[in-house]
Amino acid sequence: EVQLVESGGGLVQPGGSLRLSCAASGFTFSSYWMHWVRQAPGKGLVWVSRINSDGSSTSYADSVKGRFTISRDNAKNTLYLQMNSLRAEDTAVYYCATILTGFLWYFDLWGRGTLVTVSS
Amino acid sequence: AIWMTQSPSLLSASTGDRVTISCRMSQGISSYLAWYQQKPGKAPELLIYAASTLQSGVPSRFSGSGSGTDFTLTISCLQSEDFATYYCQQYYSFPLTFGQGTKVEIK
Nearest CA in chain A to B6: A44
pLDDT of residue A98: 97
**Does residue A103 carry a pLDDT above 90?**
no
Nearest CA in chain A to B90: A106
The answer to whether residues B87 and A45 touch, using CB atoms and an 8 Å cutoff, is yes
Q: Which residues of B touch A110 (CB under 8 A)?
A: 43-45
> Do strands B19-25 and A114-118 pair parallel, antiparallel, or not at all (unpaired)?
unpaired
> At A30, phi and psi to the nearest 5?
-70, -10
**Does residue A101 carry a pLDDT above 90?**
no
Judged by CB atoms closer than 8 Å, whether chains meet at A104 and B87 is answered as: no
Nearest CA in chain B to A107: B46
Pick from B23, B46, B88, B97 the residue to mutate for testing the A interface (most A CBs within 10 Å). Answer: B46
Question: Residue B23's closest CA among B11, B10, B5, B37?
Answer: B5
Nearest CA in chain A to B34: A106
Q: Taking chain A, what is the end-to-end CA distance rounded to the nearest angstrom?
A: 39
Question: Residue B50's closest CA among B28, B62, B69, B65?
Answer: B65
CA distance B14 to B12: 7
Give the 3-state secondary structure of residue A78. strand
Q: What is the pLDDT of residues B31-52, one digit of tens each?
A: 999 999 999 999 999 999 999 9
Of B42, B43, B46, the CB nearest to A106: B46
pLDDT of residue B91: 97
CA distance A119 to A44: 20
pLDDT of residue B51: 97
Q: What is the pLDDT of residues A33-78, one digit of tens each?
A: 999 999 999 999 999 999 999 999 999 999 999 999 999 999 999 9
Q: What is the pLDDT of residues A15-32, one digit of tens each?
A: 999 999 999 999 999 999
Question: Residue A97's closest CA among A65, A70, A75?
Answer: A70
Q: Which residues of A touch B4 (CB under 8 A)?
A: none
Residue B83: pLDDT band with limits 50, 70, 90: very high
pLDDT of residue B68: 97
Distance from the Cα of A43 to chain B's closest Cα (Å) equals 8
pLDDT of residue A104: 87
Burial B78-100 (b: 16+ CB within 10 A, else e): beeebbbbbbbbbbbeebbbbbe
> At A29, phi and psi to the nearest 5?
-50, -40
Of A50, A61, A108, the CB nearest to B55: A108
CA distances from B36 to A8, A17, A55, B62 (A): 26, 31, 27, 11
Distance from the Cα of B58 to chain A's closest Cα (Å) equals 12
